Chains A and B, each alone.
Chain A
Amino acid sequence: MSFNNLDTLYRQVIMDHYKNPRNRGVVNGDSLTVDMNNPTCGDRIQLQLQIEDGMVKDAKFDGEGCSISMSSASMMTQAIKGKRVEDALKMSKIFSNMMLGEEVDSELDLGDIQALQGVSKFPARIKCATLAWKAMEKGVHEE
């Protein structure tokens, strides 16, 4: 029998990103905008990406949702800013493997994102954590 300890999910750093989101707002200048929502629960995110010469120059988000979806968006924008697009996509892959409970590849510095590892123990909440990453992938592929 699995025992879901709340502390493994709601780590301090997650709650910090939820309460004090980084990169919340709009990008100044040219950017692409992706709207995505989770129709089963009503969470929604608007992600803006400024991509120049294969680099994510800026990333901002706005939206409404639970602590997991919003903190994940905050952490993601922080992580992909200044990264090459292919590295951002690589991180997204690592993140989705992390959500499947797999060991993470440590080649890229995931920083705060590691704190979301506990979400894999809460299957119903994985979609909350991956919402922002799905939006990023969609935006990059449209670009």
Chain B
Amino acid sequence: MDAKAIRQMFPILDQEINGHPLVYLDSSATSQKPIPVIEAVDNYYRQNNANVHRGVHTLGSRATDQYEGAREKVRRFINASSTAEVIFTRGTTTAINTVASSFGRANVKAGDEIVITQTEHHSNIIPWQQVAKVTGATLKFIPLQEDGSITLEDARNTITPNTKVVAIAHVSNVLGTIHPIKEIAKIAHDNGAVILVDGAQGAPHMKVDVQDLDCDFYAFSGHKMCAPTGIGVLYGKKQLLEEMEPIEFGGEMIDFVNLYDSTWKELPWKFEGGTPIIAGAVGLGAAIDFLNEIGMDTIHEHEKKLAVYVMERIRTIDGINVYGPENRASLVTFNLDDVHPHDVATALDSYGIAVRAGHHCCQPLMKWLNVAATARASFYMYNTEEDVDQLVDGLLKTKEFFGNVF
């Protein structure tokens, strides 16, 4: 894979920040957008914009075709068996909340258990806290190993016949841990529970086959995989989605509306109340085409190499603490001794290097790590080993700077 050639497709990367060439290492927060995605959205608004599923006119048909065409692209991308199982949402957060509010509140009862981990993003913790509060269920956590990973044995001991839902990230956004989803799905199913996978950091970086994983729900965001913000996907097994009630009511999602009651459209539209995010879906379709052209396996291999390289290089810095397991997705979370991560991020920014600093929407994990905040550098297919070298160089300069001012 030629990351340098791919980089040319991302116009935003070709600029200087604070007098230095931009080194963008915050793709876990949001990825940059390639020309084909920008052009697809632009073209949609210039040529085809109309509301979907309603208009008899030509533009209405074009917009509907593009919107539903994007759904078919998503279906193939994650190997869902039908487009009925692909619901467009605002993002991962909305997707998880849909399952928690609909499936969770209807199926979880007092005394039941919901199993998650302490490494989850807030958006895969709080919806379940709320379900537990409303239903009287118990929230349980699969214990963490020293490096923040989990073992299948601990998963087996935590998930019981009382467990109704297991909710877990495909990839941790802080530690980079890649969870064994297929195996955990089997444990969940053996106990009669359903499993929801937070795929926000999974789908953008590796091939996802929801049938092979045998997960019941898989949630992900477009903006982390080259698509615009505001579009995401909830995959759900058809039988479960059919049993679930919608959580948003209004236009687009109805079959018949009477004075005192109404009936819902069939899947997937019953979960898409209101005018949907049409341009976002078109952009997501273009992003999927772009990713497929490079190849998800190729992207994954490239990132694996970068992850190994960054771990090797960053460890050479004196006084650095790196969090998470050795075998990881292409992100690295760390702290420099005696320099607060915000100060690290500001210093790196002055050298043109964009990293994230803070709690990364993972306050319970920060507590477990016993830190208030951390810095994180995350990579995508457009990053190169030179970017890693720039990061290491920037960190050495940061250390020197703060060493001198103290």
Closest to B338 in A: A19
Q: Give a binary string over B326-352; 1 marks a CB under 8 Å from any A CB, 0 the rest.
A: 000000000000001111001101100
Partner of A9, one of B19, B346, B359, B363: B346
User: CB within 8 Å of B: which of A103-141?
Assistant: 122, 124-125, 128
Interface pair B366/A3, CB less than 8 Å apart: no
Q: Does B257 contact A (CB under 8 A)?
A: no
Q: Does B357 contact A (CB under 8 A)?
A: yes
Chain B interface: which of A22-30, A59-67, A81-89?
A59-67
Partner of B350, one of A6, A40, A43: A6
Also in contact, A42 and B350, with CB within 8 A (given A6-B401, A65-B372, A68-B342) = no
List residues of chain A with CB within 8 A of the CB of B343. Answer: 10, 66-68
Partner of A41, one of B19, B373, B406: B373
Chain A interface residue count: which class?
20 to 34
List residues of chain A with CB within 8 A of the CB of B358. Answer: 40-42
User: CB within 8 Å of B: which of A21-74?
Assistant: 40-44, 64-68
Also in contact, A42 and B372, with CB within 8 A (given A3-B18, A6-B401) = yes
Interface pair A41/B350, CB less than 8 Å apart: no
Interface pair A125/B346, CB less than 8 Å apart: yes
Interface centre among A5, A42, A44, A68 (most CB of B within 10 A): A42
Expressed in whole angstroms, the minimum distance between the Cβ of B316 and any Cβ of chain A is 23
User: CB within 8 Å of A: which of B356-379?
Assistant: 357-359, 363, 366, 372-373
Q: Does B16 contact A (CB under 8 A)?
A: yes
Partner of A10, one of B357, B359, B366, B401: B401
Closest to B342 in A: A66
Q: Does B5 contact A (CB under 8 A)?
A: no
Interface pair B347/A128, CB less than 8 Å apart: no
Expressed in whole angstroms, the minimum distance between the Cβ of A94 and any Cβ of chain B is 24
Q: Give a binary string over B372-406; 1 marks a CB under 8 Å from any A CB, 0 the rest.
A: 11000000000000000000000000000110011
Task: Tally A-B pairs: CB < 8 A.
Answer: 57
Also in contact, A4 and B406, with CB within 8 A (given A42-B363, A65-B372, A125-B342) = no
List residues of chain B with CB within 8 A of the CB of A12. Answer: 405
Partner of B366, one of A42, A67, A124, A128: A42
Interface pair A5/B350, CB less than 8 Å apart: yes
Interface pair A1/B19, CB less than 8 Å apart: yes
Interface pair B19/A64, CB less than 8 Å apart: no
Expressed in whole angstroms, the minimum distance between the Cβ of A86 and any Cβ of chain B is 32
Closest to B405 in A: A15
Expressed in whole angstroms, the minimum distance between the Cβ of A131 and any Cβ of chain B is 12
Expressed in whole angstroms, the minimum distance between the Cβ of A31 and any Cβ of chain B is 25
Expressed in whole angstroms, the minimum distance between the Cβ of A71 and any Cβ of chain B is 11
Cα(A124)–Cα(B357), bound, Å = 11
List residues of chain A with CB within 8 A of the CB of B357. Answer: 41
Closest to B357 in A: A41
Interface pair B406/A15, CB less than 8 Å apart: yes
Closest to A1 in B: B16
List residues of chain B with CB within 8 A of the CB of A128. Answer: 342
Interface pair A67/B340, CB less than 8 Å apart: yes
List residues of chain B with CB within 8 A of the CB of A68. Answer: 342-343
List residues of chain B with CB within 8 A of the CB of A43. Answer: 342, 372-373
Interface pair A122/B372, CB less than 8 Å apart: no
Closest to B339 in A: A67
Expressed in whole angstroms, the minimum distance between the Cβ of A143 and any Cβ of chain B is 29
Partner of A42, one of B18, B347, B359, B401: B359
- B: residues with CB less than 8 A from A are 16, 18-19, 340-343, 346-347, 349-350, 357-359, 363, 366, 372-373, 401-402, 405-406
Nearest 6 CB-CB pairings of A with B: A66-B342, A66-B340, A41-B358, A42-B359, A15-B405, A42-B373
22 A-B residue contacts at CB 8 Å? A1-B16, A4-B18, A4-B346, A5-B350, A6-B401, A10-B401, A10-B402, A12-B405, A15-B406, A41-B357, A41-B358, A41-B373, A42-B358, A42-B366, A43-B372, A43-B373, A64-B372, A66-B341, A66-B343, A68-B342, A68-B343, A125-B346
Apart from the given pairs A41-B342, A43-B372, 16 other A-B contacts in the complex at a CB distance below 8 Å:
A1-B16, A4-B349, A5-B350, A6-B346, A9-B346, A10-B401, A10-B402, A19-B406, A40-B358, A41-B373, A42-B359, A42-B363, A42-B366, A42-B373, A43-B342, A66-B342
- A: residues with CB less than 8 A from B are 1-6, 9-10, 12, 15, 19, 40-44, 64-68, 122, 124-125, 128
